[in-house]
Structure 1
Amino acid sequence: MIAHDGVPGDDRGLLLGDGLFETLLAKDGALVDLAAHLDRLEAGCATLGLPPPDRAEAERLMRRAVADLAAPRMAVRLTLTAGSGGRGLDRPGAPVARLLATASVSMLAEGPARLALSGVRRNEGSPASRLKTLAYLDNVLARQEARARGADEAVMLNNRGEVASAAAANLFWLRDGRLFTPALACGVLAGVMRARVLSASAALGVEVEEVAASPEELSGAAAVFLTNSLIGVRPVSSLDGVAYAPSALVERLARLLA
């Protein structure tokens, strides 16, 4: 494992999107849910056949990035690429991964989010749909489409027409007193905050079902919310003009997981 402050022109992450990343929150200098993020990065490396990161070095790089910025609330990104590998698709026999960390000021989103259903689909048949790979162009295009329609975030379906996720968040909805979220097999990232919501809901005695659902399920929901490590739990106000009322359960989860 080589730690780098820059990326050379032959880096496979730059040229082919061959690599992974994690984005975590730093609050007052503390790296939130660090172990869970590094665990997920290691699992992703195993799936892609990449050498796992040196956890101590990864933490050192992130703490250095946080110290250099010195803001009360930061988004910290840890990027692992497959390293340099020459031209073409084939990796070197023993790839030497490249590790980088950056930090930027992260303001907490204000108010509920407005959603728009995107025409960009997630490929649930690809292992990459369940990983934070460096090939995030579909997510970029989905978010761009949503913003062009006056929304804050996109809802992405998979190729079977099932609800998968937002462009940069996991998705939950409340219906008939129960919570629902798309199953990982729908092409969904196993979000760190998603896991915390599942755990917190169980502690509150609220049933959560991981399902394959059509977008009509969202239209009939009592409430919808988004989750990721930076926004925590963020309620949704509307999806393509369908309005949602505030939910006491969503507000309670947001407070518990802030």
Structure 2
Amino acid sequence: MKPLPPDLNSPTALHGLSAFTTIRTHRGEALLLSEHLERLEATCTFLDLPPPAADVPELEALPWGLLRITVTAEGTYYRHQPLLPPAVQPTGAGVLLSRIQVHPQLGRHKTGNYLPYILAQRHAERAGFFEGLLIDRGGNAVDGTRTGLLLRVGGRYLIPDGGLPSVTRAALLSELHAEAQAAPISPELLQRAERVWLCGSGVGVVPVVYLKADDWAKDYEAEWVGQEHAALKMPD
């Protein structure tokens, strides 16, 4: 047993009291920056943290990058690193519906309290899936470990009620000139869906081709959309 290092003796390190957002960059430009900062500020208000600093520094002109902005009680910090193409087959992504639950109050926010997402991602990767979905107490799909969920059911677009308001998903709906309704995404609804997409800064927009739950599975016809938009396409 070792003494706790002083730099770990804080609410940020011990309890995840921080807010963050992850922004795609293209040749040094932070894409959808204002939308990300607006969502981040709302989370800071919810957590009683200071608002995020808006003075984003000049970024290295990476072909594709990920800019993570983190806010703690001590200030705003950033990290910029290369974004590598995700390991997705040309046919689409396989997804596992996990049994890991999101926090009922924190599910709408990106916070340092991230353990459920790490567990769901580990379960999915060990089973050979690209993404894992987390659920709420009622068993409804709420979010992916690193993506937001979008469904088309009966010609309507649906997003999970209770999940993170995905900036990438909102940009996709704007590109499609479409609106989406928030609804509980039950297993029955997932089985009825004609199309399912994953939306996130790190992957863009990826169609789901296969979804596996404990006692059922479904194949979907993949439809690649939004690939002309730098914030939505698969990184080169």
| Other structure's SS at 1:151 match | coil
Partner residue of 1:137? 115
Partner residue of 1:199? 174
Partner residue of 1:94? none
| Other structure's SS at 1:35 match | helix
CA distance in 1, matches of 2:160, 2:8: 38
- 8 Å Cα contact 1:17/1:135 also seen in 2: yes
- 8 Å Cα contact 1:25/1:73 also seen in 2: yes
CA distance in 2, matches of 1:211, 1:200: 21
CA distance in 2, matches of 1:209, 1:230: 24
- Is 111-120 or 133-142 further displaced after alignment? 111-120
1:166 matches 2:166? no
Give the superposition deviation at 1:10: 3.4
- Is 102-111 or 166-175 further displaced after alignment? 102-111
The one-character-per-residue Cα deviations of 1:180-238 (angstroms, maximum 9, x if unpaired) are: 1112xx2x11111122133233x2xx453221121121122222110012222111110
Give the superposition deviation at 1:143: 0.5
1:13 matches 2:21? no
1:80 matches 2:80? no
Q: How does 1:46-195 map to 2 (within 5 A)?
A: 46-56=45-55, 59-60=56-57, 63=58, 66-67=59-60, 70-82=61-73, 97-109=74-86, 110=88, 111=90, 112-124=92-104, 126=105, 128-183=106-161, 186=162, 188-195=163-170
Amino acid paired to 1:200: E
Give the superposition deviation at 1:98: 2.6
- 8 Å Cα contact 2:100/2:116 also seen in 1: yes
Amino acid paired to 1:181: I
- 8 Å Cα contact 1:154/1:166 also seen in 2: yes
CA distance in 2, matches of 1:189, 1:254: 22
Identity %: 29
Partner residue of 1:88? none
Runs of 4+ in 1 over 4 A off after TM superposition: none
Partner residue of 1:227? 199
Give the superposition deviation at 1:11: 3.7
The one-character-per-residue Cα deviations of 1:21-56 (angstroms, maximum 9, x if unpaired) are: 110011011111111111111111111111112212
Partner residue of 1:237? 209
The one-character-per-residue Cα deviations of 1:56-106 (angstroms, maximum 9, x if unpaired) are: 2xx12xx3xx32xx5211111111122xxxxxxxxxxxxxx2322112211
The one-character-per-residue Cα deviations of 1:142-181 (angstroms, maximum 9, x if unpaired) are: 0101111111110111012112111111101122222211
- Is 14-23 or 190-199 further displaced after alignment? 190-199
| Greater helix fraction, Structure 1 or Structure 2 | 1
Number of residues of Structure 1 aligned to a counterpart in Structure 2: 219
The one-character-per-residue Cα deviations of 1:232-252 (angstroms, maximum 9, x if unpaired) are: 2111110014211123xxx23
Amino acid paired to 2:195: A
Relative to 1, partners in 2 of residues 1:176 and 1:106: Cα closer, same or farther, differing over 3 Å? same
Whose Rg is larger? 1
Q: Which runs of 5+ in 1 are unaligned?
A: 1-6, 83-96
Q: Which runs of 5+ in 2 are unaligned?
A: 1-5
CA distance in 1, matches of 2:39, 2:179: 25
- 8 Å Cα contact 1:234/1:254 also seen in 2: no
CA distance in 1, matches of 2:157, 2:23: 25
| Other structure's SS at 1:150 match | coil
